[in-house]
């Protein structure tokens, strides 16, 4: 067992002398009174904290046997934070926990396992996404703050690793407390693999480009329509007043789509039901007093081709020089006929 542990220590990259089985066995027998043993434990914890910066506790190496008690106090805080499964390292008299070879062996086994697992998880993390600045971070922070407020979760720091777990647990409790018919089934029921995620992302991007193009066109139409209001005499007189009203509306318009794949995942089955805007259910929220106003008789503007005769040409007076030009054309026409 000592040989296997020494090999694992060497693989982890420990630069000290305890990568040799004989030196490691002597250090395990001495326990907290061994400077080499405390140095190995301190190195493992420092490596673990470099991978997991959220760990608060730390272990300092000793300079002699007289510091064994303070070292064991630090180890007690560390194993408690990491939820060590070895009860011999978390219960009983603190200053006597690392006096046996088995407890020292279990401590090294636990710290090495935690370090190996942390490095594996760190290697599996996706690379960080490059952003133009802190805009995305501020947006995410704002969304997390809104989620916490909606779920009534008190969090001192949004960077708390347990925050997502608290949110998930709170949402699960809220869902279980609702009736069965309160939450409909999701619209998307198929499990998505990486290939389908890529296809959905491509479709989402295509729709986003189409939406932005149409939205830019509508914004331009809005600007042109507003600009035409300033052309008249009354518009010029009240130009500043119209600008003060319309400028905030125009500033609120954006061509960027806020719909993302998260909206697809959150969609329920009722999102696929097409309801006409003229239906009774829709009219309950859109009807108003203006809809009940009836217009009286209005002048007939015509515009029915079947009820009018073809228009006759109207002869206007010839412009200056037009008569002479017309006379030459008539003479040239008679000459051609004579020929």
Note the pLDDT tens digit of each residue in 290-334: 888 888 888 887 777 777 676 665 665 555 554 554 454 555 444
pLDDT digits (tens, 9 = 90+) for 167-217: 888 888 887 887 777 777 888 888 888 888 889 989 999 999 999 999 999
pLDDT digits (tens, 9 = 90+) for 130-140: 555 555 677 77
> How far is it, in rounded angstroms, from Cα 229 to Cα 223?
10
Token readout for 222 is: 């809005």
> How far is it, in rounded angstroms, from Cα 299 to Cα 49?
85
Report the half-sphere exposure of 108 (CA within 13 A, side-chain side). 30
Q: What is the pLDDT of residue 114?
A: 92
Q: What is the pLDDT of residue 335?
A: 46
Cβ proximity of 36 and 19 under 8 Å: no
Give helix 35-51 / helix 68-81 axis angle, nearest 10°.
30
Q: What is the pLDDT of residue 41?
A: 92
Q: What is the pLDDT of residue 38?
A: 92
Closest listed residue to residue 41, CA positions, set 140, 91, 115:
115
**295-325 burial, b for 16+ CB within 10 Å, e for fewer?**
eeeeeeeeeeeeeeeeeeeeeeeeeeeeeee
Span 85-93, mean pLDDT?
A: 89
Q: Which residue has the tokens 């914890």?
A: 45
**pLDDT range class, residue 262, cuts 50, 70, 90:** confident
The neighbour count for residue 242, using CB atoms within 10 Å, is 13
Which of 52-61, 130-139, 161-170, 225-234 comes out lowest in average pLDDT?
A: 130-139
- Decide if pLDDT at 146 tops 90: no
Between 114 and 335, the higher pLDDT residue: 114
Between 281 and 23, the higher pLDDT residue: 23
């Amino acid at each position: 067992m000592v040989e296997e542990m020494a090999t694992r220590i060497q693989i982890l990259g420990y630069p000290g002398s305890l990568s040799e089985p004989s030196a490691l066995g002597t250090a395990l027998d001495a326990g907290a009174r061994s400077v080499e043993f405390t140095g190995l434990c301190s190195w493992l914890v420092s490596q673990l904290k470099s991978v997991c910066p959220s760990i608060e506790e730390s272990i300092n190496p000793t300079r002699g046997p007289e510091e064994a008690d303070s070292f064991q106090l630090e180890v007690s805080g560390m194993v408690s934070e990491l939820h060590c499964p070895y009860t011999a390292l978390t219960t009983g008299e603190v200053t006597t926990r690392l006096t046996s070879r088995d407890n020292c062996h279990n401590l090294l086994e636990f710290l090495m396992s935690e370090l190996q697992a942390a490095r594996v998880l760190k290697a599996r993390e996706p690379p960080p996404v490059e952003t133009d600045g802190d805009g995305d971070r501020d947006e995410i922070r704002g969304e997390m703050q809104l989620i916490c407020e909606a779920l009534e979760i008190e969090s001192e720091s949004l960077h708390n690793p347990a925050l997502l777990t608290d949110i998930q647990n709170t949402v699960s409790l809220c869902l279980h407390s609702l009736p069965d018919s309160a939450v409909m089934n999701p619209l998307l029921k198929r499990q998505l693999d990486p290939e389908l995620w890529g296809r959905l992302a491509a479709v989402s991007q295509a729709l986003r480009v189409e939406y932005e193009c149409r939205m830019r066109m509508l914004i331009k139409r809005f600007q042109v329509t507003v600009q035409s209001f300033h052309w008249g005499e009354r518009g010029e007189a009240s130009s500043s007043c119209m600008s003060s009203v319309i400028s905030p509306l125009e500033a609120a318009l954006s061509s960027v789509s806020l719909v993302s794949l998260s909206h697809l995942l959150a969609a329920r089955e009722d999102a696929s039901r097409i309801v006409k805007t003229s239906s009774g259910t829709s009219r309950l929220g859109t009807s108003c007093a203006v809809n009940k106003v009836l217009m009286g008789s209005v002048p007939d503007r015509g515009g029915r081709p079947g009820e009018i005769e073809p228009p006759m040409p109207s002869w206007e007076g010839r412009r200056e020089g037009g008569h002479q030009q017309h006379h030459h054309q008539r003479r040239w026409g008679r000459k051609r006929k004579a020929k």
